[in-house]
Structure 1
Amino acid sequence: MKMLAAALSLAAGLGAARADEGMWTFNNFPSQKVEQQYGFRPTPAWLDQVRLASARLAQGCSASFVSSQGLVLTNHHCAHVCIEQLSTGQRDYVKSGFYARTQAEEPKCPALEVNQLVEITDVTARLNAATAGKEGAAYGEAQRAEMARVEKECQTSDRLRCEVVTLYQGGVYDLYKYKRYQDVRLAFAPEFAIAFFGGDPDNFMFPRYDLDVAFLRVYEDGQPARMEHFFRWSERGAKEGDLTFVSGNPGGTSRQLTVAQLEYARDVGLPDALLRLAELRGRLAEYRHRGAEQARHSNADLFYVENSYKALRGRLEALQDKTFFASKVAAEGKLRADLAKDPARAQRYLPAFDAIARAQADLKQLRRPLNQLERGLAFSGDLFRLARQLVRGAEERPKPNGQRLREFRDSALPAVTQALFSPAPIYPEFEKFQLAFSLEKLREALGADDPAVKKVLGQASPEELAERLVNGTKLADVGYRRKLWEGGQAAVAKAAEDDAMIALALRVDPDARAVRKRYEDGVEAVTKRNAELIAKARFETEGTNTYPDATFTPRLSYGTVKGYQENGREVRPLTTLGGAFERATGREPYALPQSWLDARARLDLATPFDMATTNDIIGGNSGSPVVDRDARVVGLVFDGNIQSLGGDYGFDPAQNRAVAVHGAAILEALAKVYRADRLVQELRSSAAR
């Protein structure tokens, strides 16, 4: 991966952002800068329309509303879990695709939730007052309690989702109020072969020829939701040089982290994650060869593992670039030198850098038990996840809201129960495979003599224990789970007498909670408190003239449809449908579906297929609409190029590119490949308004 360090922006957190850089919050969007650069000024009304027409899939992607009837546009890979869960051995919608010819044929996704951001409120003063004068564990406890109070006051209905969002590393706290849609149904998805055409070899590459698109629909009270705000569709899409906006939910960036935090990621966090993903990828590939059903059950997991491995490898390569890392060191050094010029500021702010460095050293020692026992690496699969939710839910819900674990606060319970009572299928053989692998890694990470390992494995091998646990639980039964949830601690304790998975979750919970508390008090609280101080130091000179790191909350970026230079050659920003047929070999991952081969004569092969833009994006932006200055959909983000993988730490406008399906290709395919007349008419009807 080529990182042009001199071109990478140091502005994120250290000065004003440069051309096309930034994942901006809707209440601090640089409209004047856009006008100066592109001659178009987004007004408050325009920004409100874009925000309200945009959506978030709570499970980790972006989306948008594209009709008044609740139609939702997102990526195939964002809806993949739903598509797979609705599939069976007899009808594999991942392989064959899906189209509901009537609304009555739209099946409900077992576990998807769609969020619409309806209000932003600044609660910084309230959070700062709650934590004033506190350090360490006291700071963390006070902050969590106040966040829980703020969210509970906001969430007056289960149809709302309220979250306190930390911005600028604690410089700003905003309350985000979302409208929550939990009745989400599948309307359309193409075959996996065209949604991920080119497979892993083409992932994070350009040119691309993917129709990575899916249409969902949100319902209220059994009927399609009536949407006041939605995006109209542009029939022609975008052309080279057009101004584009991407509205989405970037998952997280690290552009404002200290050098100590970046060193931890480079030397410890990323290598650990990559080593595990590499081995898991090999194991999954072996599992898929056991048979067609095994391949179907594990398809989504392999896709996400391969995608994560490539993304994290790109991040590591960015941090290993000596020139780039030196620029980060220099930028922090300049900030510290500026602070040192004022004794009062130096005394107040400079110790924060050292405190964060000490917290990272503590994290290095704590990470293995934390990742294994609390973050779930030791217990892969759905069954243990359900067992832990039941065990912890039973213990946490009787507590005052502010004293609970964050994931069980009142504002989070609707999401917990949706996942807990999901009717999604659970496959015992795949559960055993996942659990055996993760138990093996537990023993490897902590050592066979570790008390927690002995408590989990006893005399059993990982394979033996996985077999016993999966065979010895009834958690695949939704009714059983509901009974335990409603029965609370007494019901869970009784179930542990003959349910092996519940018994395991109870047995390991004290150790997991203990390591979590050590992390929250000794690492997280220290890091948050001192990052907040550094943010305040920056605010004294910069204010909010730059954008905060991404937090999987709605953001807006701007850019243009534009190519780039790679290895001395020009990469054009648009591909065509005809290019897909030229690239096809008839063999995976370059085998076009039969539906496309049959439709070739009907297609306008000059239609733009995929496009590259200079919009600043990161993981979580998948499913984001690309819109023009008239707030019309011209594309759908599904990836970035290989150069963009360093975007977690900086932005290079010369080479970083967002990759999107062109809006014209979506309409062309719907109309001529899939004969999805109902959807085409709905989109065109919306566009005409």
Structure 2
Amino acid sequence: MTRLLPLLILLAAGSARADEGMWTFNNFPSDLVKSRYGFAPNAEWLKRVQLSAARIAGGCSASFVSPNGLVMTNHHCVRDCVQQLSTPQNDFIVKGFSAATAQQERQCPAFEINRLVEISDVTEQVTKATQGKEGAAFRDAQRAELARLEKACATAPDLRCDVVTLYRGGMYNLYKYQRFQDVRLVFAPEEAIAFFGGDPDNFEFPRYDYDVAFVRVYQDGKPAKVENYFRWSAKGAQAGELTFVAGHPGGTSRLLTVAQLIYQRDYALPERLFQLAQLRGMLDEFQQRGPEYTRISNNLKFGVENSYKALVGRREALVDRDFFAKKVAEEQKLRDWVNANPERQKRYGQAWDNIAQATDTLRDMRLRGRWLEQSAGTGSDLFNYARVLVRSAQELSKPNEQRLEEFTEARKPELEQQLFSPAPVYPKLEEAVLGFYLTKLREVLGPDDPVVKKVLGKQSPQALARKLVSGTRLASPQVRRQLYQGGAAALGASKDPMLEFVRSFDEEARAIRKRYEEEVESVSDKNGELIARARFEAYGTSTYPDATFTLRLSFGQVKGYTEEGRQVEPFTRIAGLYERATGEDPFRLPPSWLQAKPRLDLQTPFNFVSTNDIIGGNSGSPIFNKDAEIVGIVFDGNIGSLGGEYGFDESVNRSVSVHSQGILEGLRKVYNARRLLEELGQGGGG
């Protein structure tokens, strides 16, 4: 048995136990919290917290911490922005960034922050639109209704509306967000302290990271005024204290069927891990070419290494026999309950088998789907720009409800912000990732595959990648804007080699996507709805839905744990940072922290763990007390949290946060960030 497990499977009991749960704000178990901790969040408290939380559209969480639009998140959540603002002569990843005045705040090239302002139940509308439909008809009807609801909701450019699927289709909620697309960097420390310990310490504890950053949202060129924001706790997190996390967990798989989990265990996870390992090896070689090669590729490598370690943890959970046996037993218990009644059996009985058949279809088409559509381009910015442009010519001419979801009216502002971003494009890195992609395309599909022959012809992957990158003009935001605004005529007339490359197999890519949507996704969605209804009928709605990168609230307490026979204390202190430092990466401290050591209170709490239920996407979440005061910021989970993709075990699952007192100590005595401290209400002496 691995150190990730045993994981406790709790849904079969009909309600969550312990501190488990990523709860929606319109179904939060206040009575459960009161029974465990003596405090029941009321509607007013929940609304205030909801409006103080924030989401970074690229995949992180955040929070408002002043009335002037100041937002706190993790350093690694603004890393893209910091990298894009950097130059070889002024590398903010290495040096850090701090705006001493408002005029020095720098706009992030492509950054969007959302604040959830309203939740409404649209289950009836969605299920009515799809009632009695199967396959392509189901998918088309569902897509049309979602697009209609989102467009009707997003009545202004600064509103974003998403229909959110909950309980695997058992419920649909419409989330209305306030959208901020003018986001400016205020403060980011050096990466050497933000990610101290690097990959060896990732998903581990004890930790010593100063993984915090601040940005500001603007409206009409001025700092946005916000009424709801988190204040700062006087003491920060205390041992045994009740804590809450309001964040946007990206996705969990706790409600997947056994057939879907087998697919993850035997195909999706091992193949994705192999791909990431190869990509990491390519990037290691790329960085050996020189310091500038390292600078321009570090962001991509960071993401690859983080994903690899996280997916290893997920697969360890699924290959644990005891854990998987509990998942099988959980599903069988619900199926037995369904089959015990003829009416229930008629309504729900075939749902699991239908999903299993769809999963078999996915297994057979997965490689073409991955390399022609899902992983096409392997992160190349130029490829992604070209694909958006090529597809925009066709999609934007369709009625809104018939478009691919990324081109609907509700999604266009985000798509256009990314497409017109002035972020730099690095040709050498583009050549490397495109060469990697083309090599894998030929390797996986085979040199005789019609698409491979059409794409590569007689050229090697590396030669074609060089030709495409050197010949394209899509690195220019102005060129991309002209082509996009020129529509089908301008795009059809363009002979840009990257556009022609994407066009050469877009028909096949669209076809495999369409097949996936009609034969896999629509079947899983429709039958997932049936299983959800059976679960509701059996257990009620006393459970929480799987994470969907939408705002959730978890509760827990500051608490250590036992790992491999040793007791892990809940706090680390600044003194331990200097004890762990070696002077060599990844345990090298930046000069600012070495010079500040005599001024620091070395007993200040630095990082801590709590039982709050989190997953990827919660990075940057505020962790706060019952008075809605900041006691820290979530930046990671321990190794036990990785199995949280599929279940929760309070004995080992921990969130990892930077302590609020450690944040203040650094701002005050390392960075002398007086303006920032004053805005947080923490000015004055230390």
Give me the whole-angstrom Cα distance separating, in 2, the residues matched to 1:177 and 1:459. Answer: 51
Q: Give 3-state SS (helix, strand or coil) of 2:178's partner.
A: strand
- Aligned twin of 1:101: 100
- Aligned twin of 1:375: 374
Give me the whole-angstrom Cα distance separating, in 2, the residues matched to 1:566 and 1:396. Answer: 52
- Aligned twin of 2:613: 616
Matched, 1:299 2:298: yes
Q: Give 3-state SS (helix, strand or coil) of 1:623's partner.
A: coil
- Aligned twin of 2:88: 89
CA contact (8 A) 2:5 2:317 kept: no
Once the two structures are TM-superposed, the CA of residue 379 in structure 1 deviates from its matched residue by: 5.0
Matched, 1:502 2:487: no
- Aligned twin of 1:2: 2
Matched, 1:531 2:540: no
Once the two structures are TM-superposed, the CA of residue 344 in structure 1 deviates from its matched residue by: 1.3
Give me the whole-angstrom Cα distance separating, in 2, the residues matched to 1:191 and 1:378. Answer: 30
Matched, 1:62 2:58: no
Q: 2:604 corresponds to which letter in structure 1?
A: T
Alignment of 1:117-266 (within 5 A): 117-266=116-265
Give me the whole-angstrom Cα distance separating, in 1, the residues matched to 2:159 and 2:452. Answer: 41
Give me the whole-angstrom Cα distance separating, in 2, the residues matched to 1:230 and 1:12. Answer: 34
Matched, 1:50 2:49: yes
- Aligned twin of 1:561: 558
- Aligned twin of 2:410: 411
Q: Give 3-state SS (helix, strand or coil) of 2:76's partner.
A: helix
Give me the whole-angstrom Cα distance separating, in 2, the residues matched to 1:665 and 1:405. Answer: 46
Q: 1:399 corresponds to which letter in structure 2?
A: K
CA contact (8 A) 2:4 2:641 kept: no
Give me the whole-angstrom Cα distance separating, in 2, the residues matched to 1:477 and 1:5. Answer: 49
- Aligned twin of 1:594: 591
Give me the whole-angstrom Cα distance separating, in 1, the residues matched to 2:4 and 2:641. Answer: 11
CA contact (8 A) 2:116 2:176 kept: yes
Give me the whole-angstrom Cα distance separating, in 2, the residues matched to 1:155 and 1:13. Answer: 38
Where structure 2 has 5 or more consecutive residues not aligned to the other structure, the ranges are none
Once the two structures are TM-superposed, the CA of residue 158 in structure 1 deviates from its matched residue by: 1.0
Give me the whole-angstrom Cα distance separating, in 2, the residues matched to 1:378 and 1:445. Answer: 14
Once the two structures are TM-superposed, the CA of residue 49 in structure 1 deviates from its matched residue by: 0.6
Q: 1:637 corresponds to which letter in structure 2?
A: V
CA contact (8 A) 2:23 2:544 kept: yes
- Aligned twin of 1:493: 492
Once the two structures are TM-superposed, the CA of residue 504 in structure 1 deviates from its matched residue by: 1.1
- Aligned twin of 2:623: 626
Q: Give 3-state SS (helix, strand or coil) of 1:2's partner.
A: coil
**In the alignment, which of 538, 548, 552 is matched to residue 549 of structure 2?**
552
Per-residue CA shift, 1:211-259, capped at 9, x if unaligned? 0011000000000000111000113211110100000000000000000
- Aligned twin of 1:672: 669
Per-residue CA shift, 1:322-341, capped at 9, x if unaligned? 01000000111111111111
CA change 1:623–1:13 in 2 (3 A) is farther
Once the two structures are TM-superposed, the CA of residue 377 in structure 1 deviates from its matched residue by: 3.2
Segment drifting more, 278-287 vs 203-212: 278-287
Give me the whole-angstrom Cα distance separating, in 1, the residues matched to 2:5 and 2:591. Answer: 45
- Aligned twin of 1:475: 474
The two structures have a TM-score, normalised by structure 2, of 0.99
- Aligned twin of 1:636: 633
CA contact (8 A) 2:600 2:669 kept: yes
CA contact (8 A) 1:204 1:639 kept: yes
Q: 1:348 corresponds to which letter in structure 2?
A: R
- Aligned twin of 1:431: 430
Q: Give 3-state SS (helix, strand or coil) of 1:411's partner.
A: coil
Q: 1:237 corresponds to which letter in structure 2?
A: G
Alignment of 1:396-407 (within 5 A): 396-407=395-406
Give me the whole-angstrom Cα distance separating, in 2, the residues matched to 1:76 and 1:12. Answer: 35
Q: Give 3-state SS (helix, strand or coil) of 2:636's partner.
A: strand
- Aligned twin of 2:71: 72
Q: Give 3-state SS (helix, strand or coil) of 1:150's partner.
A: helix
Corresponding residue pairs, total: 684
CA change 1:218–1:4 in 2 (3 A) is closer
Q: Give 3-state SS (helix, strand or coil) of 1:161's partner.
A: strand
Per-residue CA shift, 1:332-366, capped at 9, x if unaligned? 11111111110111122121100000111100111
CA contact (8 A) 2:348 2:534 kept: yes
Once the two structures are TM-superposed, the CA of residue 13 in structure 1 deviates from its matched residue by: 6.6
Q: 2:90 corresponds to which letter in structure 1?
A: R
**In the alignment, which of 654, 658, 661 is matched to residue 655 of structure 2?**
658
CA contact (8 A) 1:3 1:646 kept: no
Where structure 1 has 5 or more consecutive residues not aligned to the other structure, the ranges are none
Once the two structures are TM-superposed, the CA of residue 12 in structure 1 deviates from its matched residue by: 3.5
- Aligned twin of 1:17: 16
CA contact (8 A) 2:620 2:635 kept: yes
Q: Give 3-state SS (helix, strand or coil) of 1:260's partner.
A: helix
Give me the whole-angstrom Cα distance separating, in 1, the residues matched to 2:85 and 2:377. Answer: 28
CA change 1:379–1:62 in 2 (3 A) is closer
Give me the whole-angstrom Cα distance separating, in 2, the residues matched to 1:285 and 1:93. Answer: 22
Q: 1:599 corresponds to which letter in structure 2?
A: A
Once the two structures are TM-superposed, the CA of residue 11 in structure 1 deviates from its matched residue by: 2.1
Q: Give 3-state SS (helix, strand or coil) of 1:684's partner.
A: coil
- Percent identical pairs in the alignment equals 59
Give me the whole-angstrom Cα distance separating, in 2, the residues matched to 1:467 and 1:583. Answer: 44
Q: Give 3-state SS (helix, strand or coil) of 1:246's partner.
A: strand
Once the two structures are TM-superposed, the CA of residue 378 in structure 1 deviates from its matched residue by: 4.4
Q: 2:619 corresponds to which letter in structure 1?
A: S
Q: 1:581 corresponds to which letter in structure 2?
A: Y
Give me the whole-angstrom Cα distance separating, in 2, the residues matched to 1:159 and 1:3. Answer: 46
CA contact (8 A) 1:297 1:430 kept: yes
Matched, 1:285 2:284: yes
CA contact (8 A) 2:73 2:213 kept: yes
Per-residue CA shift, 1:579-623, capped at 9, x if unaligned? 100111111111111100100011010000000000000000000
CA contact (8 A) 1:378 1:442 kept: no
Matched, 1:575 2:572: yes
Once the two structures are TM-superposed, the CA of residue 3 in structure 1 deviates from its matched residue by: 5.0
- Aligned twin of 1:543: 540
CA contact (8 A) 2:48 2:228 kept: yes
CA contact (8 A) 2:377 2:383 kept: no
Q: Give 3-state SS (helix, strand or coil) of 1:133's partner.
A: coil
Once the two structures are TM-superposed, the CA of residue 454 in structure 1 deviates from its matched residue by: 1.0
- Aligned twin of 1:346: 345
CA contact (8 A) 1:13 1:546 kept: no
CA contact (8 A) 2:4 2:639 kept: no
Give me the whole-angstrom Cα distance separating, in 2, the residues matched to 1:376 and 1:192. Answer: 28
- In angstroms, what is the RMSD of aligned CA positions? 1.2
CA change 1:391–1:577 in 2 (3 A) is same
CA contact (8 A) 1:81 1:300 kept: yes
Q: Give 3-state SS (helix, strand or coil) of 2:2's partner.
A: coil
Once the two structures are TM-superposed, the CA of residue 4 in structure 1 deviates from its matched residue by: 6.8
Per-residue CA shift, 1:60-81, capped at 9, x if unaligned? 0000000001000000000000
CA contact (8 A) 2:5 2:643 kept: no
Q: Give 3-state SS (helix, strand or coil) of 1:410's partner.
A: coil
Once the two structures are TM-superposed, the CA of residue 393 in structure 1 deviates from its matched residue by: 1.0
Give me the whole-angstrom Cα distance separating, in 1, the residues matched to 2:493 and 2:183. Answer: 35
Per-residue CA shift, 1:480-539, capped at 9, x if unaligned? 1110010000100111x2x10011111111011000000000000000000100000011
Once the two structures are TM-superposed, the CA of residue 99 in structure 1 deviates from its matched residue by: 0.2
Give me the whole-angstrom Cα distance separating, in 2, the residues matched to 1:88 and 1:571. Answer: 41
Q: 1:461 corresponds to which letter in structure 2?
A: S
- Aligned twin of 2:510: 513
Once the two structures are TM-superposed, the CA of residue 374 in structure 1 deviates from its matched residue by: 1.1
CA contact (8 A) 1:116 1:179 kept: yes
CA change 1:596–1:388 in 2 (3 A) is same
